[in-house]
A and B are shown apart, each in its own frame.
Chain A
Amino acid sequence: MIEVKDVTKKFGRKPVLKGVSFTANKGEITCLIGINGVGKTTILNAIMNLTPLNSGEILIDGERINKHSYEKIAFIPDAITMLPNMKISDAMRFMADYYQCWNQKRADEMIGFFKLNPNDRISTLSKGNTAKVNMLLGLAMDVNYILMDEPFSGIDIFSREQIADVFTSHLVEDRGVIITTHEINDIEHLIDKAVLLNEGVVLKEFNAEEIRESEGKSVIDVMREVYLK
């Protein structure tokens, strides 16, 4: 389990996270929802130990995040971090050299799953294929948790569908996933938990099936209540 406990973070004097708390379980898909600029990416960076906190703490499987945390978590950013003139195969080799937890078998499988050509250069890829390569580089790591920053934003519908297919496939297996999004439509039936954020605070955290069962409400119904009241 990833536990985010009362985390605060300021950029200069500007508070970005004002006491954020939530949990994300292994074997579940947790979705951080909020419009742009509410601190979603900052939360992911904090979980990756990429940004120092002002207060609060983050635990991974009961252990405070430390410099070894990256062996347990993969971060899939919303833009590719590989050099433009690299081929997809070069990018995979780079990851294999850099990370002990790299799983080449799963990487090869994902090339097929996404119908990518390993000889294509990063600079020549469409937005959709860039997102898929990004996804591949993260998911091919043998880690317990995967963080995905806006995996669906700005790409075509077919690429979105293919990426959504990852969530129901064995590629995610029993790992814990945290994804951020400002649009829930496509994935309402895919997620376990929703965490609604606004201006650096968690307004509501709930399980999507439970809220349908107990209150007969869709995720969007709840969002409407929470954000528009």
Chain B
Amino acid sequence: MDVKFNNRDPVYIQVIRHFKEKIATGGYEPGQEIPSRRELANNLKINPNTAQRAYKEMEEEGLIFTEGNLPSRITNDPEVIRNVRKELILEAVHSFVASVQSINVPLEEALHLVKENYQRNKNEQEESL
């Protein structure tokens, strides 16, 4: 597990973000067991209280759940997982739109470039496999 943290955003929020990405991309499967708070702190080299905070928030958001004394697990709720994916996509689109608008690129041209670029990246990824 390797996460590059920045210094200015709360670490617990960056941890949650990391989990959301893994959930959205299938890196974590529904119902999969996740590390204990202590293990997570140790793996990511973060303060154990921060790991605890991230897990508490994720539990409240329904991203993970804990039954009794068993290890915590990723949610099985497809609705929650769909929403995580949607949230990440919207976030990416939002920042894309903001940066395209700031340099005055017309929508048509931007979309054309997006398609072209997307296809090229995909082809390169497939070739490298």
Residues of A within 8 A of B (CB): 27-29, 164-165, 167-170, 188-192, 209, 212-213, 216-221
Q: Which one of A168, A188, A191, A213 lies within 8 Å of B7 (CB-CB)?
A: A188
Between A and B, 25 residue pairs with Cβ closer than 8 Å are A27-B49, A164-B45, A165-B42, A167-B47, A168-B47, A168-B48, A169-B38, A189-B5, A189-B11, A189-B45, A189-B46, A189-B47, A190-B45, A209-B10, A209-B12, A209-B47, A209-B50, A209-B53, A212-B7, A212-B8, A213-B10, A216-B8, A217-B8, A218-B7, A221-B7
Count, A-B residue pairs, CB within 8 A: 52
A-side contacts of B53, CB under 8 Å: 209
Told that A189-B46, A213-B10, A213-B13 touch, could you supply 18 new A-B pairs with CB distance under 8 A?
A28-B49, A165-B45, A168-B38, A168-B41, A168-B47, A169-B38, A170-B38, A188-B7, A191-B47, A192-B49, A209-B10, A209-B11, A209-B12, A209-B47, A209-B53, A218-B7, A218-B8, A220-B7
Please judge, given known A-B contacts A209-B50, A209-B53, whether A169 and B42 are in contact too, CB under 8 Å: yes
Q: Which one of B5, B7, B42, B45 lies within 8 Å of A219 (CB-CB)?
A: B7
Q: Is there a chain A Cβ closer than 8 Å to B108's Cβ?
A: no
Q: Is there a chain A Cβ closer than 8 Å to B126's Cβ?
A: no
A-contacting residues, B1-49, CB 8 Å: 5, 7-13, 38, 41-42, 45-49
Of all A-B residue pairs in the complex, the 10 with the closest CB atoms, nearest first, are A218-B7, A168-B41, A213-B10, A168-B42, A212-B10, A189-B46, A218-B8, A209-B10, A216-B8, A190-B47
B-side contacts of A209, CB under 8 Å: 10-12, 47, 50, 53
Q: How far is the CB of A194 from chain B (nearest CB, A)?
A: 12
CB of A168 within 8 A of CB of B11, answer no
Please judge, given known A-B contacts A170-B38, A209-B53, whether A221 and B46 are in contact too, CB under 8 Å: no
B-side contacts of A189, CB under 8 Å: 5, 11, 45-47, 50
Alpha-carbon separation in the docked complex, A121 to B67 (Å) = 49
B-side contacts of A220, CB under 8 Å: 7
Alpha-carbon separation in the docked complex, A25 to B3 (Å) = 28
Q: How far is the CB of A223 from chain B (nearest CB, A)?
A: 11
Alpha-carbon separation in the docked complex, A159 to B13 (Å) = 29
A-side contacts of B47, CB under 8 Å: 29, 167-168, 189-192, 209
Alpha-carbon separation in the docked complex, A180 to B11 (Å) = 22
Which of A167, A188, A212 has the most chain B CB atoms closer than 10 A to its own CB? A212
CB of B8 within 8 A of CB of A168, answer no
Q: Which one of A190, A217, A218 lies within 8 Å of B46 (CB-CB)?
A: A190
A-side contacts of B46, CB under 8 Å: 168, 189-190
Alpha-carbon separation in the docked complex, A20 to B8 (Å) = 28
CB of A212 within 8 A of CB of B11, answer yes
- Chain A's closest residue to B38 (CB) is A170
CB of A216 within 8 A of CB of B7, answer no
Alpha-carbon separation in the docked complex, A189 to B47 (Å) = 6
Alpha-carbon separation in the docked complex, A44 to B96 (Å) = 51
A-contacting residues, B48-93, CB 8 Å: 48-50, 53
Which of B9, B42, B45 has the most chain A CB atoms closer than 10 A to its own CB? B45
Alpha-carbon separation in the docked complex, A212 to B38 (Å) = 22
A-contacting residues, B73-126, CB 8 Å: none
